């Protein structure tokens, strides 16, 4: 492998000057601005590094009067390097690149474009791109079935012929009812500015330390955030800047302020959870900080934010992960916020899983309910039910719901939400899905069921799919995927012919429906409905 070395040149009014060698890169290049200067990053082969350094030094000494002459010398150097490498194989030729942008954007603008890559794209074009991505995923799924399920190839050939190259119908993408200010949860990073001022910033990081990026920008340009959330970020930034405690540093693991989690609801409730590393502070010092924060948001400058619920997440292990050692301590206000979805009320706590786009979630769950009703008197088996949003929204439309989740806290919240809404035809179980499918036959008492999978992860574990295959009372599967490409393995497992490993008759896809839950981003949810193969004609061999 040929390693690349990155030289950094500073373009100033005096000319082009070479700065210190940066860390080895593989194929990175670009331009950045620091303190008004423009830096051009040049990548060259390590074999030519000595020659290139001498040429660059000569160019700097001989052409320090004008930047135009510096660029001429740099162009000449590129030609020299290209000429000297003619006897080197194609894969080892010098790769020198200069990428001058028309304008250097601010950190806030970089944040917006990183988080919302479609921010300048008309919404109809966004939908077309997302629909195209879903179609690409279904094409990959089709060919994966062709590769792994030779028994279904005749059926697959006919399906792809009838559905323009994919194995089932793809319905028109469902747009989000709202395009801006739709996010009801954000996790802001608290860090020092990278512009040399070391100002404390509450915003979003572009990239990561692992990728060599430490840019943190304020979130005010992000159109997907409501104004209330932007105000909280600004006000808490003021609080952190006047704090005696520094921000947490991911590299040195020093400092204290790490993150600010904000949750809002359509009922004008606002919850904030600052994340703070205690490090070596005493309990009295931490308690004093909690008291100061409570005063700030209940009777100080923070009152303008309208916070209704204040928590504090204190991490004592300076090397521990944020989630692993998290304890959410309630400091002030209500212990939860309330959200309304499809005329149902849900209590939301700091760690509650809830859709970040409430109006689009209502559209999604209504559509899932419509799919469940395609056959009458169905019982729904909801896998990964979380706090009951899907199960409770379907309960009033189907005969009954059996819901499971492997996290006990989720099940406890789901039961409370059922009581809150007087829903009595849902049974929640704290268990893994594969552990309850054997009991499902007894619960169903011979009735057919539709399984609804809504995993917060990219894909379900294979053993969950195996368990669904074995449960012969499940006649249909509705799979809600936040990452269609990652879920292809699950889709394929549902379709594999019956075998010693894969018990039960196969399923086959009937339709796929893309739903946009995240405008201005590349994310798109896909719902796929599968039916159990009952007759020979269902999947022609």
DSSP characters over 316-351: --TTS-TTTT--EEEEEE-S-EEEEETTEEEEE-TT
* pLDDT value, residue 489: 94
* pLDDT value, residue 105: 53
CB contact at 8 A, 34 and 56: no
* pLDDT value, residue 255: 92
pLDDT along the chain (541 residues), means of 10: 40 38 36 37 37 41 41 39 40 32 60 94 98 97 95 94 96 98 97 81 80 78 96 97 92 92 97 96 96 97 97 76 69 98 97 96 97 86 94 94 92 97 95 79 79 80 88 92 94 92 91 98 97 66 39
* pLDDT value, residue 241: 96
- Nearest one of 175, 225, 133 to 516, comparing CA atoms: 175
* pLDDT value, residue 325: 53
The annotation status of 405 as a binding-site residue, yes or no, is yes
Any idea which fold 129-177+357-538 has? Rossmann fold (3.40.50)
Distances (CA, A) of 377 to 231, 396, 521: 48, 12, 38
Instruction: Quickly list H helices, 9-122.
Output: 49-62, 67-84, 107-115
> Which residues are the active-site residues?
482
Tokens of 365: 């769950």
* pLDDT value, residue 486: 93
* pLDDT value, residue 78: 37
Tokens of 378: 């169905």
**Residue 202: Cβ-neighbour burial (10 angstroms; 0-12, 13-18, 19+):** buried
* pLDDT value, residue 66: 40
Please tell me the CATH code under which domain 185-341 is placed.
Answer: 2.40.50.1070
Q: Which residues contact 156 (CB under 8 A, 6 or more apart)?
A: 142, 145, 146, 149, 167
The annotation status of 454 as a binding-site residue, yes or no, is yes
Domain borders along the chain are: 4-104, 129-177+357-538, 185-341
DSSP state of 46: G
């Amino acid at each position: 492998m040929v390693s690349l070395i990155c030289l950094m040149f500073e373009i100033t009014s005096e000319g082009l000057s070479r700065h210190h060698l940066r860390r080895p890169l593989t194929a990175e290049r670009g331009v950045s601005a620091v303190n008004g200067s423009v830096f051009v990053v040049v990548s060259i082969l390590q074999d030519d590094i000595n020659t290139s350094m001498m040429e660059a030094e000569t160019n700097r000494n001989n052409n320090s009067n004008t930047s135009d002459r510096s660029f001429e010398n740099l162009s000449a150097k590129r030609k020299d390097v290209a000429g000297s490498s003619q006897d080197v194989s194609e894969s080892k030729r010098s790769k020198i690149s200069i990428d001058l942008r028309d304008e250097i954007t601010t950190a806030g603008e970089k944040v917006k474009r990183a988080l919302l890559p479609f921010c300048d794209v008309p919404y109809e074009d966004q939908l077309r791109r997302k629909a195209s991505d879903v179609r690409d995923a279904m094409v990959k799924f089709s060919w994966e079935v062709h590769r792994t399920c030779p028994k279904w190839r005749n059926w697959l050939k006919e399906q792809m012929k009838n559905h323009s190259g994919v194995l089932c119908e793809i319905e028109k993408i469902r747009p989000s009812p709202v395009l801006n200010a739709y996010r009801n949860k954000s996790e802001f990073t608290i860090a020092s500015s990278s512009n040399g001022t070391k100002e404390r910033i509450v915003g979003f990081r572009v990239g990561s330390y692992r990728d060599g990026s430490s840019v943190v920008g304020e979130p005010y340009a992000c159109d997907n955030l409501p104004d209330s959330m932007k105000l909280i970020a600004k006000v808490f930034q003021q609080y952190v800047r006047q704090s005696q405690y520094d921000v947490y540093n991911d590299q040195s693991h020093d400092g204290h302020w790490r993150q600010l989690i904000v949750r809002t609801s359509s009922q004008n409730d606002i919850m904030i959870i600052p994340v703070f590393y205690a490090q070596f502070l005493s309990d009295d010092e931490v308690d004093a900080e909690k008291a100061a924060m409570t005063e700030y948001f209940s009777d100080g400058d923070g009152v303008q934010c309208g916070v209704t619920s204040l928590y504090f997440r204190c991490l004592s292990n300076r090397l521990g992960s944020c989630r692993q050692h998290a304890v959410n301590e309630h400091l002030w206000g209500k212990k939860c916020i309330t959200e309304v979805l499809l005329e149902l009320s849900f209590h939301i706590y700091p760690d509650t899983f809830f859709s970040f786009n409430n109006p689009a979630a209502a559209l999604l769950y209504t559509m899932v309910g419509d799919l469940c009703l395609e056959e009458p008197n169905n019982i729904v088996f909801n896998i990964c039910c979380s706090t009951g949003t899907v199960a409770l929204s379907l309960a009033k439309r189907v005969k009954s719901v059996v819901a499971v989740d492997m996290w006990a806290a989720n099940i406890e919240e789901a039961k409370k939400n059922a009581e809150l809404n007087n829903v009595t035809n849902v049974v929640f179980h704290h268990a893994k899905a594969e552990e309850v499918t054997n009991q499902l036959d007894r619960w169903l008492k011979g009735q057919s069921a539709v399984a609804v999978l809504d995993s917060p992860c990219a894909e379900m574990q294979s053993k969950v799919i195996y368990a669904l295959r074995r449960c012969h009372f499940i006649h249909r599967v509705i799979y809600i995927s936040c990452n269609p490409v990652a879920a292809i393995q699950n889709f394929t497992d549902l379709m594999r012919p019956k075998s010693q490993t894969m018990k039960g008759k196969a399923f086959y896809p009937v339709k796929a429906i893309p739903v946009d839950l995240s405008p201005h981003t590349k994310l798109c949810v896909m719902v796929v409905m599968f039916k159990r193969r009952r007759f020979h004609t269902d999947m022609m061999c």
